Amino acid sequence: GIQVEQSPPDLILQEGANSTLRCNFSDSVNNLQWFHQNPWGQLINLFYIPSGTKQNGRLSATTVATERYSLLYISSSQTTDSGVYFCAAMGSGSNDYKLSFGAGTTVTVRA
């Protein structure tokens, strides 16, 4: 199946700072999603972005499908942005019918 790698594994930010999280994937995709897992364990869907650029408030994401990577941008970070960010992809091959997750980036925003 498709391999998903995220970097960096950990990120410590001062409140108000900007950051970029990266997701590389090993094959062409027909689905790519970014999630934020909060301290209660809920997986909050941030973006469905198999290609292109999207923005939602202080968050934005870009997927360059031809180069097999996606970026998640956090601007003016707040302490509530803390948590684990997961990238997950579904390959466009005929036998791939599931999302495969990366190992996640743990973000800590300090006041």
Partner 1 sequence: AAGVIQSPRHLIKEKRETATLKCYPIPRHDTVYWYQQGPGQDPQFLISFYEKMQSDKGSIPDRFSAQQFSDYHSELNMSSLELGDSALYFCASSPRAGDGSPLHFGNGTRLTVT
Which residues of the chain form contacts with partner 1 (CB under 8 A)? 29-31, 33, 35, 41-43, 45, 48, 50, 86, 88, 90, 92, 94, 96-104
Element (H, E) at 33: strand 29-37
Residue closer to partner 1 by CB (options 22, 75) is 22
Q: What does the alpha-carbon distance between residue 66 and residue 40 come to, in Å, rounded to a whole number?
A: 35
Residue closer to partner 1 by CB (options 34, 109) is 34
Residue closer to partner 1 by CB (options 62, 75) is 62
In the bound complex, what is the minimum distance in angstroms from residue 90's beta carbon to partner 1? Answer: 6
Termini Cα distance of the chain? 40
Q: What does the alpha-carbon distance between residue 32 and residue 85 come to, in Å, rounded to a whole number?
A: 13
The H-assigned helical ranges of 15-108 are: none
Residue closer to partner 1 by CB (options 25, 35) is 35
Asked if 49 and 60 count as a contact pair (C-beta separation under 8 A), the reply is no
In the bound complex, what is the minimum distance in angstroms from residue 52's beta carbon to partner 1? Answer: 14
